[in-house]
Structure 1
Amino acid sequence: MITSEPVGEWFWEPGPVSHPAEAGIATAIGLLSDVRDTLAASGLVLAGGGSVAVVLGDRHAMSTPLLSLHGIPLVAVAQQVSGSQLLPGRLLTLSLALPGEWTEAGAVRRAEKLFSVRVGLWGEGAVLLALAAYADAWLTQDLRERPQPEVAAENAPRLAAALKRISELTGSEIDPGDPTKHARPTPDGFADLLAEEAEYDDSWATFEIPARWKRLMKLVPGEPAGEDYESSTDHPVRYARVLRGNLVLGYLWASTADAAAGYEPRNAAGDAAFEAGVPWLLRFRSSQRRGFGPLDALAALLGERDEGPNGSTVEPTLHEAASLDALEDWSGRC
């Protein structure tokens, strides 16, 4: 299953930069590139892929960045931040989101954000490298507590090899991050959840589903104030896929028996899955205001296209899922 928040993280502290104001940006970019190439050599991410977010902040006002850029190709980062002054007391953070692949029974699966690499560089020269994973392909049971030792056996060795190579690359020891809601990172990957139980039951439904709903609603402008359909149901749902070309971004759904309707992002599509849901949720809100029931509101959107800059289309065909939980499960697995 693919998550919107990290399943686990690992940290390294490479040697400090002697002259961060002059060489800091080049050092950070080089480290991102080297780690990406290491992950690609291990067959975990796609060579040359990914986009970068850049944040420059001051220690005394970290909540108001001096610079904040997103969606930049790695090769263009140096030009975009060339005028930035990395002075003492300032922190430059470069975050690289990487598409990647894993296998299940030999079949290749892909996610647009399988890993992220983050480099933090202080104006005094200290460097921190972090790697985050956004899937459970390395775990012996998935996030709904279904055993998957074969999946872990296919993928965990490549992750372990990559972690070792990054330690060699940086000349520093690996520091596994704290246990997350989903798993416990270790120096060579993750703890065996079949040998030691997960800290939380069904972390997918308990934590991931509420977290991604909050993330989605932060993108929707205005206040719902009772103007949205109910966001959950125990009844079967009908749904239609939201597409950009042939890429499935998410699922627009409506309950068959109560006043619930919404949108489930397909996590494998990455950040675009969340952005694509916004115009359709706004149209649902408009339908609810005008007194349409959820199924009628969904039917009215079949075959419709959003003409925004990153437009998407609702397929003209309806499907049925036994429950919203089943659709949410599907949205994380494919």
Structure 2
Amino acid sequence: MPVGDWTWEVVPASGGVRPAQAADVAVEIWNILAERELAAPVGKVDVSVRIAGDMRDVRVDAVGMPLVPEPLAPGAAFATAVGQAESVEEDCVVTIRVECPGFWLEQGGKYRAEKLFAVQMVLWAGNSLMVTLETYSDAWLTVDTRDREQPEVHTLNAPRLAAALEKISALLGSAPDPGDENHYAKPTQDGFEDVRTEGPAYTDSWGTFEVPARARLLRSRVPDSEDEYEETTDHPVRYLAVEHAGHTVGYLWASVADDAAGFEPRVAVGEIAFQAGAGWLLGLREAHSQGLTPLAALDWLARQPSRPEIGLITGADSREVMSLDALEELSGRY
């Protein structure tokens, strides 16, 4: 879920805006973020074109294209999709959405998130261009989404965001319209409001909103079933890390004292964590159908033949944490 967003409306003095111009702006914003490692070298971009009078009439639907260096060079997937958008003669709505992997900083290192920012361009019948920048990280906040003050993290990252917003505003010729206050923070024209004086809008916004939201997102990838373990527990849990393509994508866990087991996706690696998690949830259902206890299911899954498409269990021995909350914290932070 976005932590905050900023929107600019670009209204040309004359001549309208073409899809190719909107694509150029998207790439320029990508480059502004990349200057500060807020965008990594390769991201993902979607392009859609719908007829303005009938939004069900889809003329272009290009999803998950790689955003590589020189993405608008002849022959690049993004350039091809933009060319298709240019060829639509009717009044249409063109949407370009870029998901930006990038790095946030902490003392002693930097950490990659697969969707640190998203940039969305919506071109309405060539008359106006709406540009929205969303962030999915709390690194810019004085208080993180777990209600803990983080002055060092804020000091390292907030100026990077402020500098990017200033440069994007210079590119677009106006200051942004900050998004509304949400569960996590209140955006401003140069970042976020310091909530330490009045406190956050919600206490435990992480547990109240983010954890249930990602659980619903994960569950939506598997069919409904009553043949499964409980989703939550108040007891300590044992867990195994799951790795895919060199990244830890989540943690397979089991309660030590009741009938609960599940998978906690590692948020920073993005969509792949949920894709892998769905496979492990189905594995837990199979173990449950065999009558295995949660701890026995954890051991049984660790011994199954490897399935690279859902990741590999790293390490033969499980680890134990005092609560499921602690494991959710681990999966959500790094």
Fold-level similarity (TM above 0.5): yes
CA distance in 1, matches of 2:328, 2:52: 40
Q: How does 1:119-268 map to 2 (within 5 A)?
A: 119-220=121-222, 222-224=223-225, 226-268=226-268
- The residue type equivalent to 1:83 in the other structure is Q
Please give the root-mean-square deviation of Cα atoms over the aligned residues, in Å.
2.1
Evaluate the alpha carbon distance shift between residue 87 and residue 12 of structure 1 in structure 2; reply closer, same or farther with a 3 A threshold: farther
Deviation at 1:203, TM superposition (A): 0.7
Evaluate the alpha carbon distance shift between residue 8 and residue 86 of structure 1 in structure 2; reply closer, same or farther with a 3 A threshold: farther
Tell me whether 259-268 or 56-65 shows the greater mean CA deviation. Answer: 56-65
Evaluate the alpha carbon distance shift between residue 170 and residue 146 of structure 1 in structure 2; reply closer, same or farther with a 3 A threshold: same
- The residue type equivalent to 1:51 in the other structure is K
Evaluate the alpha carbon distance shift between residue 286 and residue 68 of structure 1 in structure 2; reply closer, same or farther with a 3 A threshold: farther
- The residue type equivalent to 1:223 in the other structure is D
Query: Which residue pairs with 2:107 in the alignment?
Result: 105
Deviation at 1:230, TM superposition (A): 1.0
Deviation at 1:312, TM superposition (A): 1.2
Deviation at 1:66, TM superposition (A): 4.7
Contact 2:235/2:256 (<8 A) preserved: yes
CA distance in 2, matches of 1:186, 1:204: 21
TM-score, structure 2 normalization: 0.90
Query: Which residue pairs with 2:74 in the alignment?
Result: none
Contact 2:242/2:249 (<8 A) preserved: yes
- The residue type equivalent to 1:95 in the other structure is R
Query: Which residue pairs with 1:69 in the alignment?
Result: 62
- The residue type equivalent to 1:323 in the other structure is S
Q: How does 1:266-285 map to 2 (within 5 A)?
A: 266-285=266-285
Deviation at 1:113, TM superposition (A): 1.1
CA distances 1:221-252 after superposition (whole Å, capped 9, x unpaired) = x222x122111111111110110143100011
Tell me which protein shows more strand as a share of its residues.
2
Query: Which residue pairs with 2:27 in the alignment?
Result: 33
Deviation at 1:70, TM superposition (A): 2.2
Q: How does 1:75-90 map to 2 (within 5 A)?
A: 75=71, 76-84=77-85, 86=88, 90=92
CA distance in 2, matches of 1:17, 1:95: 25
TM-score, structure 1 normalization: 0.90
Evaluate the alpha carbon distance shift between residue 81 and residue 27 of structure 1 in structure 2; reply closer, same or farther with a 3 A threshold: closer
Query: Which residue pairs with 2:44 in the alignment?
Result: 51
CA distances 1:117-157 after superposition (whole Å, capped 9, x unpaired) = 11111224311111111111111111111111121011101
Q: Where do 5+ consecutive residues of structure 2 fail to align?
A: 72-76
Query: Which residue pairs with 2:288 in the alignment?
Result: 288
Contact 1:87/1:124 (<8 A) preserved: no
Counterpart secondary structure, 2:84: coil
Counterpart secondary structure, 2:276: helix
CA distances 1:34-76 after superposition (whole Å, capped 9, x unpaired) = 0011111133222x32111223334565477554332202322
Query: Which residue pairs with 1:314 in the alignment?
Result: 313
- The residue type equivalent to 1:116 in the other structure is A
Count the aligned residue pairs. 324
Tell me whether 241-250 or 37-46 shows the greater mean CA deviation. Answer: 37-46
- The residue type equivalent to 1:242 in the other structure is V
Deviation at 1:18, TM superposition (A): 6.2
CA distance in 1, matches of 2:189, 2:305: 47
Counterpart secondary structure, 2:140: coil
Q: State the percentage of identical aligned residues.
A: 43
Q: Where do 5+ consecutive residues of structure 1 fail to align?
A: none
CA distances 1:74-106 after superposition (whole Å, capped 9, x unpaired) = 322121353345455532211111111121124
